């Protein structure tokens, strides 16, 4: 049996997180296939210029973390990385909680966000172990 390094496990969990978030966005667009609107309530037909940049940042940071985790074995990076995983876990929890305020509640989205959240907990544990192992 192959024993994967902690870094390889961390990279795999970041990839699961990214796939989960892309799938979360994709699920939100499914009603369009049935002619339903997916517009946010109160939207005036124009997305604020900051929103695509915020989404880019939200996805780019884990992408950069994947590459950095593969290439960097420096203790200060490990500390920064652990903080980053903790921040993303808090954001995922808040996102799932806020999804519970959307009416009607889309339970398949809540289930997916909980899967992503649990994945984040495992990512936190491994990132903590990696940070301590130096």
Grouped pLDDT means (10 residues each) for the chain, 134 residues? 83 97 92 86 85 96 98 96 98 95 92 97 97 89
Identify whether 54 is part of a domain.
no
Identify whether 109 is part of a domain.
yes
Domain with 127 in it: 6-28+59-132
Distance of CA 5 to the CA centre of its chain: 22
Q: Which residue's structure tokens are 């695509």?
A: 52
Identify whether 128 is part of a domain.
yes
Whole-number pLDDT of residue 8: 96
Whole-number pLDDT of residue 2: 57
Whole-number pLDDT of residue 3: 64
Identify whether 49 is part of a domain.
no
Domain count, the chain: 1
Whole-number pLDDT of residue 37: 85
Whole-number pLDDT of residue 31: 87
Whole-number pLDDT of residue 38: 84
Identify whether 13 is part of a domain.
yes
Identify whether 74 is part of a domain.
yes
| CA dist list (Å): 24 to 9, 16, 54, 72 | 22, 12, 16, 30
| Number of helices followed by number of strands (H, E) in the chain | 4, 0
């Amino acid at each position: 049996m192959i024993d994967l390094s902690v870094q390889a496990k961390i990279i795999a969990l970041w990839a699961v997180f990214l796939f989960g978030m892309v799938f979360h966005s994709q699920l939100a667009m499914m009603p369009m296939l049935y002619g339903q609107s997916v517009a946010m309530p109160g939207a005036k037909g124009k997305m604020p210029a900051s929103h695509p940049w915020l989404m880019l940042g939200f996805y780019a940071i884990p992408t950069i973390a994947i590459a950095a985790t593969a290439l960097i074995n420096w203790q200060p990076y490990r500390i920064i990385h652990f903080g980053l995983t903790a921040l993303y876990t808090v954001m995922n929890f808040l996102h799932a909680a806020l999804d519970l305020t959307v009416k009607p509640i889309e339970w398949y989205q809540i289930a997916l966000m909980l899967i992503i959240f649990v994945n984040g907990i495992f990512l936190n544990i491994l990132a903590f172990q990696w940070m301590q192992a130096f």
